[in-house]
Amino acid sequence: MNPISNLIRGVLILFLVIVFADDSNWWKNNILYEVFIRSFKDSDGDGIGDLNGIIREDFENLVHEMQDRGMKIIMDLVVNHCNDEHCWFQKSIDKIKPYDEYFIWKDAKNFSKSEEPIPPNNWISLFGGSAWEWNSKRKQFYLHQFGRKQPDFNLRNTNVKNEIKKILEFWINKGVHGFRFDAVVQFYEDEQFRDEPLRNPEKQNTNDIIWQDLIHIYTTDFWETYEFLHELRLFKEELQKKKGGIERLLKLDTPIVTADLINSIIMEWMTNMPQGATPSWNFESHDVPRMNSKTSNENSVIMLMDIMMLPGILYVYYGQEIGIPNGLLRFDQIKDKLGGVAKRKYITRDYERCPMQWDDTMSAGFTSNPNPYLPIDPSYWILNNLTRLRQIDTYKYGQLKTQIVSKWVYIITRILPGYPTYYVITNFRSEYEPIDLSDYTNHPSSIVTVETSSINSDYYHGCSNKYRFRAIIGTE
């Protein structure tokens, strides 16, 4: 099997991001739509989404169809690790050169009285347990900062870096326009393999240490990461001559969303962002629980409306535009078992990966199979699409202004001289809260016209009001 395709098959986290674009800076002010292929659309009735399910054609035709629609494709690429069944890892176990140094191998620190090998240090996997796994054939530990079936590459090895460049070249030749790299902060680790300090020294010599208990100064955010990313960027640009942004993850784990909280998150990034950089906004993905399940359904939708009006790149996870929540799974339905079992619950990402909902037919139109690989949430509702507005010059190039009206009401304004000014008024409360918009506009005597609204608003496209609007986004 082709090592490149085998690598992708092993990783099992391949998804496409669809970009609405029409100029050379297409990546700076667009919506990137993430498709988790296993959960998007099933074309052959086996209950598992597939590439054919996106347009019922193969990858080359997918690229062609996207280009015909003025869209571009970005691919998720995991270069931190691969699957332990990959041929490179199997050759590394056998110490076949040059693969013997493709991964991070270390001798045991010592052996217990029962001759059990002791890991080289105290590093913990993000999914629980030691980040080291003993291989009885090679008689060494290999590093896996994620699952034990995901051995980390040795990115200090020139051969590994060249292999990754070949993978980029393979997909660029297929028509992919860019890449989203996963697990970036874990690219490099301390060459001396020192123990990481504990946040709580009282946990020293206990057996219940988890990833969050350590201060990750030896396993994350090494300067070499930025150098390697720059190297890959230059390589990609050179390839495309022959034939980009800073990411901000919007992390909201509290069910109480206020105007002040949203504003502080937005302005913290906008005011500290390096000059000339492009922000990107993302608060749902295949690895992050859906907003509907962290906060209320209404709040998750109006937060999406707010973020869509900010400058820069917006990542929309499939189903986010229609308010899909985390799935409801029984213990026996879980496929992605990352950690140990506690009270019949796995650490899993399956909740945010349940299938896309297309219509009200059996299995929500995702598959003809009555038993999809993950269950489908029984209900959803539709959010008005704000994609068209993001193509307007005011949103592409306009100044950003934010205003906290009250604890619950928040206004985002985009201003571009010579063009219409746009206001996004959101209410994170469940009751009506009247406001006088003339107090917050640059032109208080102007007529304000509604461009779009959430489905639980009394306002509709085209209605106008000279001064007064009720901020009614939310439910009674």
Burial class of residue 58 in the structure, from the number of CB atoms within 10 Å of its CB (0-12 exposed, 13-18 middle, 19+ buried): exposed
Is 412 within the bounds of a domain? yes
Asked which of 9-23, 71-85, 390-404 is least confident by mean pLDDT, the reply is 9-23
Q: What's the mean pLDDT in 92-117?
A: 95
Among 299, 334, 365, identify where a domain stops. Answer: 365
396 with 254, same domain? no
Q: Residue 142 has what pLDDT? A: 98
pLDDT at 111 over 60: yes
Q: What percent of the chain has pLDDT over 70?
A: 75
Tokens of 295: 């906060």
Compute CA distances 268 → 250, 265, 352, 419, 438, whole Å: 11, 5, 27, 27, 27
Same domain, residue pair 149 and 165: no
In which band, very low, low, confident or very high, does the pLDDT at 472 lie, cut at 50, 70 and 90? very low
Q: What is the pLDDT of residue 328?
A: 75
Both 328 and 291 in one domain: the answer is yes
Task: Say whether both 359 and 401 belong to one domain.
Answer: no
| Domain coverage including residue 405 | 388-471
Please tell me the predicted confidence (pLDDT) of residue 58.
67
pLDDT band at 475 (very low <50, low <70, confident <90, very high): very low
Highest mean pLDDT among 66-75, 261-270, 308-317, 336-345: 261-270
Domain of residue 142, CATH code: 3.90.400.10
Per-residue confidence band for 13, with pLDDT thresholds at 50, 70 and 90: very low
Number of domains in the chain: 3
CA dist., res. 123 & res. 434, Å (int): 54
What number is the average pLDDT over the span 268-295? 78
Q: Is 311 a residue whose pLDDT tops 90?
A: no
Task: Tell me the pLDDT tens digit for each residue of 114-155.
Answer: 999 999 999 999 988 999 999 999 999 999 999 999 999 999
Mean pLDDT of 420-445: 76
Same-domain status, 442 and 403: yes
Q: Which of 10-19, 35-44, 56-65, 89-98 has the lowest mean pLDDT?
A: 10-19
Map residue 414 onto helix, strand or coil. strand
pLDDT band at 372 (very low <50, low <70, confident <90, very high): confident
User: pLDDT for 394-406, tens place per residue?
Assistant: 888 889 999 998 8
Highest mean pLDDT pick, 14-18, 55-59, 157-161: 157-161
In a domain, 252, yes or no: yes
Candidates 393, 348, 353; CA nearest to 374 is 353
pLDDT at 161 (0 to 100): 95
Token readout for 268 is 């913290």
> Is 228:181 a contact under the CB 8 Å cutoff?
no
Please give the full DSSP string across 23-37, using - where no structure is assigned.
STTTTTS-EEEEEEH
Residues 181 and 70 in one domain: yes
Residue 93 banded pLDDT, cuts 50, 70, 90: very high
Q: Which of 160, 143, 161 is nearest to 152 (CA)?
A: 143
What DSSP designation does 243 have? Answer: -
User: Do 17 and 88 fall within a single domain?
Assistant: no
Q: How far apart are CA 257 and CA 426, in angstroms?
A: 11
Question: pLDDT > 90: what percent of the chain?
Answer: 24
Lowest mean pLDDT among 95-109, 213-227, 302-316, 337-351: 337-351
Is 77 found in the same domain as 130? Answer: no
Domain shared by 14 and 96, yes or no: no
Please report which confidence band the pLDDT of residue 252 belongs to, taking 50, 70 and 90 as the band edges: low
Residue 382 lies in a domain: no
Q: What pLDDT was estimated at residue 81? A: 94
pLDDT value at residue 92: 97
What's residue 75's pLDDT? 80
User: What is the arithmetic mean of pLDDT over 428-456?
Assistant: 72
Asked whether residue 376 is domain-assigned, the answer is: no
Residue 342 has pLDDT above 50, yes or no: no
| Whether the predicted pLDDT of 255 surpasses 80 | no
Q: What is the pLDDT of residue 82?
A: 92
pLDDT confidence of residue 24: 59
**Whether residues 293 and 414 fall in one domain:** no
The reply to whether 110 falls in a domain is: yes
Give the end of a domain, one of 172, 197, 214: 214
Using the predicted structure, report yes or no on whether residue 296 has a pLDDT greater than 60. no
pLDDT of residue 65: 77
Query: For the residues 209-225, what does the mean pLDDT come to?
Result: 92
**Under 8 Å between Cβ of 391 and 20:** yes
pLDDT surpassing 90 at residue 217: yes
pLDDT value for 456: 61
DSSP category for residue 218: T
CB atoms closer than 10 angstroms to residue 74? 20
Q: Tell me the mean pLDDT in the region 256-261.
A: 79
Does a structural domain hold residue 421? yes
User: Average model confidence (pLDDT) for the chain?
Assistant: 78
Is-contact 92 82, C-beta < 8 A? no
Residue 64, domain CATH: 3.20.20.80
Question: 98 and 165 share a domain?
Answer: no
User: Which of helix, strand or coil describes residue 463?
Assistant: coil
On whether residue 333 sits in a domain, the answer given is yes
Please tell me the predicted confidence (pLDDT) of residue 17. Answer: 45
Per this entry, what is the length of the chain? 476
Q: H/E element holding 425?
A: strand 422-427
Q: Are residues 32 and 133 in the same domain?
A: no
Which is higher by pLDDT, 63 or 192? 192
449 within a domain of the structure (yes/no): yes
User: Which of 365, 396, 430 is at the close of a domain?
Assistant: 365
Is the separation of the CB atoms in 261 and 437 below 8 Å? Answer: no
